[in-house]
Amino acid sequence: MAAPKRSSTVYLLELGGEDDAFAAREAASAATGIRRIAPGIAVARGIVPERVRGLAYTHRASELLGRGAADLESARAVLEAASIDREGSVAVRATDVHGSSGVSTERAERELGQILVDRGFPVDLEEPDHLLRVVFSAGVLDGDASGDALEPVTDDGDGGDGGDGGDGPAGEQGSVCALGWLAAESVRDFGARAPTDKPFFQPGSMDPLLARAVANVAGARTGATILDPMCGTGGVLVEAGLVGADVIGTDAQAKMAAGARENLAHFLDAENPSPTGANRGSWHVGRGDATRLPLTGDAVDGVVFDAPYGRQSKIDTHRLEDLVSGALAEAHRVAPRAVVLADRSWASEARAAGWELESSFERRVHRSLTRYVMVLERRTA
Ligand SMILES: C[S@@+](CC[C@H](N)C(=O)[O-])C[C@H]1O[C@@H](n2cnc3c(N)ncnc32)[C@H](O)[C@@H]1O
């Protein structure tokens, strides 16, 4: 698998969803040196385009041309000053994150397009050779304003190369317009896998966007093996398999294991490569107990599980605390990394099982349910 593209190029990431910190954490599976600079926008030093195509909460990565304040004057100044080492037709697409800057994107597209025309580029709105993305965003970053502790993340050991790619200081925020040439776009086909449209559906199934994001954070990619020991309907496994990972699932209920098989067969047993370009991974699902996995130590690269919630009743053999502690211990035995979703933190149970809490996120699902996402790394002695 290709290493991230490295050069002095800085990339502009357009984040989606409601939680930029979580989006940036997912993006770290496809890019290095990520730093959020304004709501909905991050910069990165290197990207792996095929992995960007598989991201849930990043829509696009572009080669950053320059950035300024969130107004049209600044955008024009950036474009006029930029050196453009490209040939062929162009188009401009502008967006205003959450309508925060108040800039007219239509006017921005027109005026910036005119600058390119004046510089001799033909415009092709349908199929341009190069698409200029222009993103305006004004506002305060949610959560930790700077890097969300992302700088030290060394996904595959390919991060942490020092320097910030010549970009602004960490923590800078407020009013940004960023211009960049589109380099990679994520495939937005999640709607086709809405839980209720799958062959096997149960209430409590995970939304495919979240499932893809946690699969990515756990390390799903071609050549990696991902385990969901409480796989339910198999939502996480489907998403991990679509980005090329080999997947293994267990569930204590025979009905769930059978249903997950049905879903995996439906989405992964296709002959064509998936829309992200990855070949679909292999899959294996069986009935099993997450606290006593039929796997040898270090059998997989990453574990994801969505623990039963307190009000779910299908836990015949364990108290919830014992189930989660047991599953955390087993995950620690079989993988160096885990992503755990639950209706509470379970952080102290994770530490007791030998995990280090790399990062954690809270995602409000609805009024009475907040989902906690814990990213766990095996503690190194
Ligand atoms: C919250 S659900 C997972 C939902 C799943 N992410 C989905 O999208 O369908 C939790 C699952 O854990 C399973 N479970 C409960 N106790 C278990 C155990 N000891 N071993 C394995 N699975 C168990 C339940 O049968 C249930 O399917």
pLDDT digits (tens, 9 = 90+) for 272-329: 677 788 889 999 999 999 999 999 999 999 999 999 987 554 556 678 999 999 999 9
Q: Is 315 in the pocket of ligand 1 (CB under 6 A)?
A: yes
CATH number for the domain whose boundaries are 11-185: 3.30.2130.30
Q: Which of 230, 304, 306 to mutate to test the pocket of ligand 1 (most atoms within 8 A of CB)?
A: 230
Q: Is 223 in the pocket of ligand 1 (CB under 6 A)?
A: no
Strand partners for 135: 95, 178
Protein residue closest via CA to atom 10 of ligand 1: 308
CB atoms within 10 A of CB 201: 13
Nearest CA-CA partner of 177 in 141, 133, 140 = 133
Question: Which stretches of the chain are DSSP H helices?
Answer: 20-27, 49-52, 72-81, 105-118, 208-218, 235-242, 254-268, 320-334, 347-352
Instruction: Dump pLDDT digits (tens) for 195-206.
Output: 999 999 999 899
Token pair of 46, please? 């290197």
Nearest CA-CA partner of 307 in 360, 375, 220, 372 = 372
Q: What is the 3-state secondary structure (H, E, C) of 97-117?
A: HHHCCCCCHHHHHHHHHHHHH
Q: Is 206 in the pocket of ligand 1 (CB under 6 A)?
A: yes
Q: What is the mean pLDDT of residues 20-38?
A: 97
Least confident residue range of 162-176, 261-275, 320-334 = 162-176
- Closest-lying ligand 1 atom to the alpha carbon of residue 323: 19
- pLDDT surpasses 60 at 158: no
The reported pLDDT for the residue numbered 34 is: 97
Q: Is 205 in the pocket of ligand 1 (CB under 6 A)?
A: yes
Nearest CA-CA partner of 125 in 101, 106, 97 = 106
User: Is the C-alpha dihedral spanning 319, 219, 361, 298 positive or negative?
Assistant: positive
Q: Is 239 in the pocket of ligand 1 (CB under 6 A)?
A: no
Nearest CA-CA partner of 214 in 299, 302, 151, 313 = 302
Q: What is the mean pLDDT of residues 45-54?
A: 97
Q: Which of 251, 287, 292, 369 to mutate to test the pocket of ligand 1 (most atoms within 8 A of CB)?
A: 251
Element (H, E) at 128: none
Q: What is the mean pLDDT of residues 34-46?
A: 96
Domain-by-domain residue ranges, the chain?
11-185, 190-378
- pLDDT surpasses 80 at 95: yes
Residue reference for tokens 């398999």: 241
CATH number for the domain whose boundaries are 190-378: 3.40.50.150
Token pair of 199, please? 């062959």
Residues 6+ apart with CB under 8 A from 214: 236, 304, 339, 341, 373
Rounded CA separation 319/317 (Å):
7
Q: What is the mean pLDDT of residues 121-147?
A: 86
Angle 212-342-316 from CA coordinates, rounded to 5°: 115
58-68 vs 90-96, strand pairing mode = unpaired
Residue 381 pLDDT level (bands cut at 50, 70, 90): low
Q: Is 208 in the pocket of ligand 1 (CB under 6 A)?
A: no
**Ligand 1 midpoint to CA 230 (Å):** 4
% residues pLDDT > 70 (the chain): 87
Rounded CA separation 88/269 (Å):
40
Which long-range contacts link 261-270 to residues 24+ away (Cβ below 8 Å)? 261/234, 261/285, 262/199, 262/200, 263/198, 263/199, 263/200, 263/233, 263/234, 263/235, 263/238, 264/234, 264/237, 264/238, 266/198, 266/199, 267/193, 267/198, 267/238, 267/241, 267/242, 268/238, 268/241, 268/242
What is the distance of C-alpha 323 from the center of its chain?
A: 28
Taking a C-beta distance cutoff of 8 angstroms, is the pair 185, 60 a contact? yes
**Ligand 1 midpoint to CA 205 (Å):** 10
Rounded CA separation 182/130 (Å):
7
